[in-house]
Structure 1
Amino acid sequence: MISQSATRRRAPLAVAIILAPSLAAAQIAGTDAPVIVPEVQVEAAGQTATGPVQGFVATEQRSATKTDTPLLETPQSVSVITRDRMDAQAVRSVSEALRYTPGVDSEAAGFDPRFDDLRIRGFDARPSQYLDGLRLLRQFGPSSIEEYGLERIEVVRGPSSVLYGQTTPGGLINLVTKRPTVTPFGEVNLSAGSHDRYKGSFDLGGPLTADGKFLYRLTGVVRNSDTQIDHVSDDRYYIAPAITWRPDANTSLTLLGRFQYDQGGSPIGLPSVGTLLPNRNGRIPRNRYSGEPGFNNSDVSIAAIGWEFEHRFDDTWSILQNGRYLTDVFDKTFPMGPC
């Protein structure tokens, strides 16, 4: 795909301020010659559509145009949920991250660790979920994607079939994976919560070589957790390596890998009588599992390898091409069979 990119917007912003003294000050100095003050330069790095954002407000997006375009110049309704916002809200899934997004109805059927049940403007959004601009395919909706491995979530409201082919009229959801960074960093998180929830995660990144031509990112999650429903677990093992090769300032090739293994269950609904409505036989506990323990298991393994190649010809023209191979394998004990 060849497109016009806003490279000039991503370049560092340089502002030169030249201070000149007033005429009165020059006269006090006893000379009419102007006093030259050294030039002061203020530099600030601009945002990109796939890089980190400091705070909750993103200025660039890629989902609505497939180019790095400022949100103010995008003729479509777009919401961006940044990494900092997800961390501040302590979300545990993509569905929770989209709770306060206009036009999006998340968790309409309640909690479910198997997948993210989303709707946009009243339309089922499961067929319109994308990862790095490429569609996630599965008959009953994509498996739940680990939110800790995402840099941002972009929601495009309204029809987008011109760019993406067959999508729902309500819009689409594009999940953007964490990418290698020029600045070295690292973090390790340990957490514990209710329902015997224990989680460990790490995120490392930075240059692999001194010249900065090779960058890396490694993100991982290990979680062992029960849920508010008996016999329904929410266990996960996730690892996502990424490497970027930059032979020159205008060319980059990024390889994105991921492996995710989930051990969960299938929540079974409860009747309204005995939960919301009175029941002469007593109240049904909310944690009651009405199915057969051990029968409705959901063991899912997701493996993917993808790439993203970008080359800038000049300040106006660039080319961007990406692809991914993803396999979604279900365990034989899952009663609904492969999807």
Structure 2
Amino acid sequence: MTSVRIATRQSPLALWQARHVGALLKSHHPGLEVSFVEMTTEGDRFLSAPLSSVGGKGLFVKEIEQALIDGRADIAVHSLKDMTSELPEGLVLAAVPEREDPRDAFCGTAGQTTVDALPQGARIGTSSLRRSCILRSRRPDLEIVSVRGNVQTRLAKTKELGLAGALLAHAGLKRLGLEHVITEVLSADVSLPAVGQGVLAIQCRGEDARVCGLLAPLEHATTRVAVTAERALLAKLEGGCTVPLAGHATVSEGQVHLRGLVGRPDGAHVVRGEVRGPVAKAAELGEALADDLLSRGAADILRDFARRPGSRP
């Protein structure tokens, strides 16, 4: 009987995602045996400091990818937004299932329901430089409090610290059955999503034809086009350090609409742009938007951020 081992982080959301992929695989391949290799990553262990100061989002995936490289697992399941633009040699992004809602969600406390209605100087929790930048550009009076950990931990800390609310990904809350804590879903016009937000990334070894074949039915073509554009934008903008940036693509009638953003952490300077073009040119559109943003001030932001004390490549 055919079997596969799925590597995953141990957080409730990561386990939900891995089990979801396991269920999808079994629905397409009756009789398939699925087991899980649960791991704790460096990103899970260092919760006392902002993610940007301890090495960035790649800390959530490196050890799981190593399990693939070492042969301890056959498949890895990640949130695509946790992945850097470059994959380790030998690994491929074998499938991206259909995207869940990519928007950010505000979870207000003590009667607070929307970001715009928050009182002057309200304290908001988030662990994301992107969300902090967008919030501060819209409401410079707000105080941002770093809140890290799994979804349940961040919601609990929001209440413990007496914050007015927290910003989290709608997709994660929905997958965990926590939509009831959402008081406002922010449109992409207000809070441009992170690259890959709402998308599950399924990795395997490129040379493993058996596993690649098992994963093929999980691929969603429209989602692949969108993330191809977004990750091309990310690849050109990353610049070797963690910066507040966003990128979100939609696909309709054979056309890609990609929007991007690069900003200073305090939200004082934000560069935005957008491009449209055919799906066949998704990667080129991402690169073109990156060039446009860089030419209009993003290069200065990237350069300044790289010089900051504590910035890490």
- Normalising by structure 2, we get a TM-score of 0.28
- Normalising by structure 1, we get a TM-score of 0.27
Question: Which protein is richer in helix relative to its size?
Answer: 2
The structure with the larger Rg is 1
Which structure's relative contact order is higher, taking Cα pairs within 8 Å and 6+ residues apart? 2
